[in-house]
């Protein structure tokens, strides 16, 4: 009987496909959060496997901070087009104009500001479910997350009162105004994601591979130098994220291990030109991928606090 066996990637894949089909079957207006990052790239392939030859029965949604790597946006737009999916983009800048969000004094990172923008988008399109690429191995508050994670009328997560999730019987029922966040990659590790990208021959944005880039040292990390702001009439969106005189700029061979925006992503020095190189690097890594994320370092409960407020 040994031939009737799934290896661990095949097991994770069939579990994720089952979850995605439950979403399509149980919700009226689901969306799929697609940023162009490695985890959401896997989500797209899983969606193809779950729904082809039909169209993927949900639009893609992305919230931009305004500080994105341009390479990522190009990749995101192109992939959505190739798959024939509708891509909805909402931005923090628009939210400022509409009064949905307000700049936080003294805070350059717009990571937190994605929360009201996401919640407003969910309300605008009446989404009752958003599929995301979060994984439990990323962070210890995420380790407590369900596949189907219920959010109340305010988009809040209540970690002490989660619905028990038994077998593969997901309770997808929500009342009007409430919604569900669904995480098909819950059981995947960073290594599984790269192994899957390799197995499925998936294209990833080139910033995952080594390239030359101007960086500066801050908070124990190499941060990318933001793009120039030649326009003298509007405020520089990267104020505070530019290197200070005592932070010398160096040209380095770097890549990203995990992508937030340019302000929250530490670059790692690396010489990796292929997916195999990345897999070798991940397996030899001695820090977690979130170790390069400035947004998680705020406190031990940084992620828990953001998730309670409605973060993905």
Partner 1 sequence: MSPSPHPIELLRFNTCGSVDDGKSTLIGRLLYDSKNLMEDQIEALERSADITGGGQINLANLTDGLRAEREQGITIDVAYRYFATPKRKFIVADTPGHVQYTRNMVTGASTANLSIVLVDARQGVIEQTRRHTYLAALLGIPHLVIAVNKMDLVDWSEARFMEIRDEIENFLPKLGVFRDVKFIPLSALAGDNVVELSGKTPWYDGPSLLGHLETVHIASDRNLNTFRFPVQWVNRPNDPTDHSLHDFRGLSGQIASGIVRKGQEVIVLPAGIKTKVKHIWTYDGSLDEAFCPQSVTLCLEHDIDISRGDMLVGVNNLPGRSSELSAQVCWMHQRPVQAGKKYFLKHATQTVQAIVTKLENRISMATLEPEAEPAALGINDIGGIRLKTAKPLVFDGYTTNHLTGAFILIEQGTNATVAAGMLAAPTEAAKPEYSDFAI
- DSSP labels, 8-42: HHHHHHHHHHHHHHHHHHH-SSEEEE--SSHHHHH
- Check residue 216 and report its DSSP letter: E
- Asked if 152 interacts with partner 1 (CB under 8 A), we say no
40/299 Cα distance (integer angstroms):
26
In terms of CB distance, is 218 or 308 closer to partner 1?
Answer: 308
- Asked if 202 interacts with partner 1 (CB under 8 A), we say no
Neighbouring-strand partners of residue 265: 293
In terms of CB distance, is 143 or 280 closer to partner 1?
Answer: 143
- Asked if 154 interacts with partner 1 (CB under 8 A), we say no
- DSSP labels, 133-182: ---GGG-TTGGG--SEEEE-TT----GGGPPP-BTTB------TT-EEEE
**Which of 87, 93, 189, 250 is close enough to bind partner 1 by CB under 8 A?**
189
Backbone conformation region of residue 166, classed left if phi is above 0, alpha if psi is from -120 to 50, else beta:
beta
- Asked if 50 interacts with partner 1 (CB under 8 A), we say yes
In terms of CB distance, is 159 or 240 closer to partner 1?
Answer: 159
- Asked if 164 interacts with partner 1 (CB under 8 A), we say yes
In terms of CB distance, is 70 or 159 closer to partner 1?
Answer: 159
310 closest CA partner among 58, 33, 89, 108: 33
Tokens, residue 144: 């407590």
Rounded least distance, CB 26 to partner 1, Å: 9
- Residues 48-76 as b/e (b if ≥16 CB within 10 A, e otherwise) read eebbeeeebbbbbbbbbbbbbbebbbebb
**Which of 29, 81, 102, 140 is close enough to bind partner 1 by CB under 8 A?**
140
Q: Contact, 118 vs 312, CB < 8 A?
A: yes
Using DSSP's 3-state secondary structure scheme, residue 248 falls into coil
In terms of CB distance, is 117 or 193 closer to partner 1?
Answer: 193
- Asked if 286 interacts with partner 1 (CB under 8 A), we say yes
- Residues 243-277 as b/e (b if ≥16 CB within 10 A, e otherwise) read beeeeeeeebebbbbbbbbbbbbbbbebebeebee
In terms of CB distance, is 72 or 303 closer to partner 1?
Answer: 303
Contact mark string toward partner 1, 225..264, x via CB under 8 A: ----------------------------------------
208 closest CA partner among 285, 288, 265: 265
Rounded least distance, CB 72 to partner 1, Å: 24
In terms of CB distance, is 261 or 304 closer to partner 1?
Answer: 304
In terms of CB distance, is 175 or 233 closer to partner 1?
Answer: 175
- Asked if 25 interacts with partner 1 (CB under 8 A), we say yes
- Asked if 201 interacts with partner 1 (CB under 8 A), we say no
Which residue ranges make up the site for partner 1 (CB under 8 A)?
1-8, 10-15, 17-18, 21-22, 24-25, 48-55, 84, 136-137, 139-144, 159-160, 162-169, 171, 173-175, 186-187, 189, 191, 285-288, 290-291, 300-301, 304
């Amino acid at each position: 009987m040994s031939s009737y066996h799934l290896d661990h990637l095949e097991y994770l894949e069939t579990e994720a496909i089952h979850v995605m089909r439950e979403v399509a079957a149980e919700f009226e207006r689901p969306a799929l959060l697609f940023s162009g990052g490695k985890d959401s790239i896997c989500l797209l392939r899983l969606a193809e496997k779950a729904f082809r030859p039909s169209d993927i029965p949900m639009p893609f949604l992305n919230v931009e901070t305004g500080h994105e790597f341009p390479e990522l946006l190009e990749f995101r737009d192109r992939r959505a087009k190739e798959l024939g999916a509708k891509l909805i983009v909402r931005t923090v800048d628009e939210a400022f104009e509409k009064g949905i969000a307000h700049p936080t004094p003294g805070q350059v990172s717009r990571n937190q500001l994605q929360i009201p923008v996401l919640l407003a988008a969910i309300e605008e399109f009446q989404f009752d479910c958003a599929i995301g690429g979060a994984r439990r191995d990323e962070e210890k508050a995420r380790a407590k997350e369900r596949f189907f994670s219920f959010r109340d009328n305010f988009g809040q997560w209540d970690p002490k009162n989660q619905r028990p999730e038994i077998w593969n019987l997901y309770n997808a029922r929500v009342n009007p105004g409430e919604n569900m966040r669904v995480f098909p990659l819950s059981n995947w590790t960073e290594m599984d994601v790269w192994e899957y990208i390799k197995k499925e021959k998936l294209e990833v944005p080139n910033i995952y591979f080594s390239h030359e880039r101007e960086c500066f040292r801050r908070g124990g990390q190499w941060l990318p130098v933001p793009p120039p702001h030649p326009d003298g009439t509007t405020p520089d969106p990267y104020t505070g994220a530019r290197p200070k005189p005592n932070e010398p700029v160096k040209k380095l061979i770097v890549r990203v291990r995990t992508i937030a925006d340019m302000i929250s992503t530490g670059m790692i020095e690396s010489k990796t030109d292929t997916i195999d190189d990345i897999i070798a690097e991940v397996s030899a890594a001695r820090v977690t991928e979130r170790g390069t994320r400035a947004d998680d370092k705020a406190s031990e409960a940084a992620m828990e606090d953001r998730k309670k407020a409605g973060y993905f």
